[in-house]
A and B are shown apart, each in its own frame.
Chain A
Amino acid sequence: MNTLEIRNLKAEIEDKAILKGINLTLRSGEVHALMGPNGSGKSTLANVLMGHPEYRVTGGEVFLNGENLLEMDIPERAVAGLFLAFQYPVEIPGVTVGKFLKRSLEALRPDEKLNLTSYIKELREGMEFLEMDQNFINRNLNEGFSGGEKKRMEILQMLMMKPLFSIMDETDSGLDMDALKIVSKGINALRGDSFGGLIITHYQRILDYVKPDHVHIMYDGEIVTSGGMDLIEDLESKGYDWVNETAREAVHG
């Protein structure tokens, strides 16, 4: 079993503390949902785990299968099995999806020689599964893609790269119902004994299609409460403020 252990993680940007002590353990076979209002630090957590240079870690530890993640550079984290599905995937002009994914897979598995035929076959199947036009292979990565197409491209990459753990940062935002179903289908396809996921979202919507095993509520840089699907229902009916206050009362009496 694989584990991603986050222990009392603290981080800041431009001297402003954003993460104030996050504790969270993901195990393979599990999908967790991380919810919370805007500015609570959800995306910061995703970026800090992947190693974004703008953020400074000021305390705590993260272990991926016992290895110190925070000591690794960005590509080492990817090779170790961590994936980030970006909230805003960037455009890379002049670099085709096919070429990018090939280089990426080669970099992620430096000890294997990529079999071109099976790579292309797998890529085509992945695109078909996510209902993407095959001509995306020759389009420049994310350039001129709609919001929904960019999100599908993130999921396609995730399917191809088969990470041990995937952080999905607001993968559902800006998707219409059809696209949401397709993206959810992609995530569910990867669920299993060798995959762990963290879905970061504002809304319950995606969680109707990808049922999480655990739900965490984040507020002002901390996880204030954790639970199961019932927590989502409270959240939908009573709002973040209620959940936050109740949680703080429970903690501080």
Chain B
Amino acid sequence: MAELKTDDYKYGFSYPERSVFKTRKGLDEEIIRQISAHKDEPEWMLEFRLKSLEAFRRQSVPEWGVDLSGINFEDIYYYIKPTEDQTRSWEDVPDDIKETFDRIGIPEAERKFLAGVGAQYDSEVVYHNLKDHLEEQGVIFCDPETAVREHGDIVREHFGTVIPYGDNKFASLNSAVWSGGSFVYVPKGVHVDIPLQAYFRINSKNFGQFERTLIIAEEGSFVHYIEGCTAPTFSTDSLHSAVVEIIAKKDARVRYSTIQNWSDNVYNLVTKRAHAYEGATVEWVDGNLGSKKTMKYPSVFLLGERAHGEILSIAFAGKGQEQDTGGKIIHAADNTSSVITSKSISKDGGSSAYRGLIKTKPGVQNVRSAVVCDALILDEKSHSHTYPYMEISTDDASIEHEARVSRISESQLFYLMSRGLSEEEASMMIVNGFIDPLVKQLPMEYAVELNRLIELEMEGSVG
């Protein structure tokens, strides 16, 4: 079988580092105090950061999943502030940063199909805007620093409640040094009919990006939030370690879509978790194409009756990449249901793993869950693993699990090639067909984008 080459990473460009302030390399209490002072934070947030730093020091790097021994926590800049101010107009964004986002296509996307956009460059959000009619309905979409200043009570009530500061080493790290991200608040009954998007860009070398996102959807509301990420291709590694917390109150629905396309020098270690109350629905759509190593298992805690959780995960592991992804659902109430669908593709020696957990609280009634994971392996050098965990402590549960690993078969290629398609195009068609059921779930613009990215990954001459 011929080899498919990975095309050059389109977003690998960088501009000279710019900063109005940066902390020295490494991590200690002084650096935490500097970050907090720069953000002019209230005392409670500084305390939160400091106890998180302690928790980070107490914990060791996870020994399961991917090998993280290559991360040197002392060789990282934890905070690089690119500009003095944030703006609501692209015109006011400094030229090099604006050009960066232009090349990625963010301003154009905002004009065409987004309700609001946040753009983060290294540590700070440099641009934020929300359509007026949503603002008038009481929707809040801003960076978390602004939220701490202007909506302190509501932030303090929810911040760190879904993912506690000591949850895991990387969540603790994020809690200690977090900067940027999004805060979304949707009032009762408000439907945000087109998506909000945040875009995260790393520009500097040896940098760690630690954005923090908190989404609160009040009773009966709806919001779709999309995040995208890219970084330059440097010879040294960068670290991206985000925390995303979602709170979906009674009958609310939140959909969170990620298309992660980091360059292949980024460690991507992200904690994402949602609380879904009575009748609420939370959906994670998680596409992982880039990065060097990713560990990410979006979770939904179904805390109220009839709550529903859904996780769609697509991973593409190319040369030198490890994608360790999946999802967790905790059924903590009666009549709750969940679906996890995972599709992974491995090629050129890449390795992908599905790691998932379905857990029930003892004695809950009428729980339904279905897990389907499909893996497609494109060549002999590449790998796929499945680690499904189940902790079911009730008799009244219907749990289905299916896992399939397939290789592109010679007979499929032969069939398509006998109809005139080149080997490359035949492989592409099979891969597109494989992910099609998930791509259909994305908004049209993102489906097109994802298909395009996968085509880029697959592109290259047949040897």
Contacts and interface: CB of A to CB of B under 8 A. Distances in A.
Interface of A: 50-54, 73-75, 77-79, 83-84, 86, 89-90, 92-95, 100, 103-105, 107-108, 140, 157, 161
B387 interface: no
A103 B421 contact: yes
Nearest to A106: B420
26 contacts: A51-B418, A53-B414, A74-B418, A75-B417, A75-B421, A75-B422, A86-B415, A86-B418, A89-B415, A92-B430, A92-B433, A93-B434, A94-B432, A94-B434, A95-B432, A95-B433, A100-B416, A103-B421, A103-B425, A103-B429, A107-B419, A107-B421, A107-B422, A108-B420, A140-B433, A157-B419
A161 B414 contact: no
B422 A54 contact: no
Contact of A100 (B409, B410, B417, B429): B429
B258 to A, nearest CB: 22
Contact of B414 (A52, A79, A83): A52
A54 to B, nearest CB: 7
A39 to B, nearest CB: 20
B429 A95 contact: yes
Interface range for B: 20 to 34
B435 interface: yes
A140 B435 CA distance: 13
Nearest to A140: B433
Contacts of B435: 94
B412 interface: yes
Contacts of A73: 417
Contacts of A77: 418
B314 to A, nearest CB: 13
Given A75-B417, A89-B415, 4 more contacts: A78-B420, A86-B418, A104-B416, A107-B420
Nearest to A157: B419
Nearest to B430: A92
Give the top 6 A-B pairs by smallest Cβ distance, nearest first: A94-B433, A94-B436, A107-B420, A95-B433, A74-B417, A104-B419
A92 B412 contact: yes
Contacts of B437: 94
Residue of B410, B412, B415, B436 ringed by the most chain A CB atoms within 10 A: B415
B236 interface: no
Nearest to B1: A53
Given A92-B429, A94-B435, A95-B429, A104 B412 contact: no
Contacts of B422: 75, 107
Contacts, number: 72
Contacts of B425: 103, 107
Contacts of B417: 73-75, 78
Contacts of B420: 75, 78-79, 104-105, 107-108
Residue of A54, A79, A90, A108 ringed by the most chain B CB atoms within 10 A: A90
A192 B435 CA distance: 42
A95 B430 contact: yes
A140 B429 CA distance: 12
Contacts of B412: 90, 92
Nearest to A50: B418
A89 B419 CA distance: 12
Interface string B396-428: 000000000000011110111111111001000
Contacts of B415: 86, 89-90, 92
Contacts of A86: 415, 418
Contacts of B418: 50-51, 74-75, 77-78, 83-84, 86
A74 B414 contact: yes
A103 B409 CA distance: 20
Nearest to B422: A75
B432 A54 contact: no
A78 to B, nearest CB: 4
A249 B435 CA distance: 59
Contacts of A157: 419
Contacts of B409: 90
Contacts of A107: 419-422, 425
A53 B410 contact: yes
Nearest to B431: A94
Contacts of B434: 93-94
A108 B433 CA distance: 21
A21 B257 CA distance: 60
Nearest to B440: A94
Contacts of B411: 90
Residue of B417, B419, B421, B435 ringed by the most chain A CB atoms within 10 A: B419
A86 B417 CA distance: 13
Contacts of A105: 420
Contacts of A90: 409, 411-412, 415
A92 B432 CA distance: 10
Contacts of B430: 92, 95
B430 to A, nearest CB: 7
A79 B422 CA distance: 11
A79 B421 CA distance: 9
Contacts of A93: 433-434, 436
Contacts of A161: 419
Contacts of B436: 93-95
A137 B316 CA distance: 29
B442 to A, nearest CB: 14
B317 to A, nearest CB: 19
A103 B144 CA distance: 48
B440 to A, nearest CB: 9
A78 B429 contact: no
A214 to B, nearest CB: 24
Residue of A73, A75, A84, A140 ringed by the most chain B CB atoms within 10 A: A75
Interface in B365-419: 409-412, 414-419
Interface in B154-186: none
A84 B411 CA distance: 13
B381 to A, nearest CB: 19
A140 B419 CA distance: 16
A86 B414 CA distance: 11
Contacts of B414: 50, 52-53, 74
Contacts of B410: 53-54
Contacts of A108: 419-420
Nearest to A142: B415
A187 B143 CA distance: 66
Nearest to B343: A94
Nearest to B462: A73
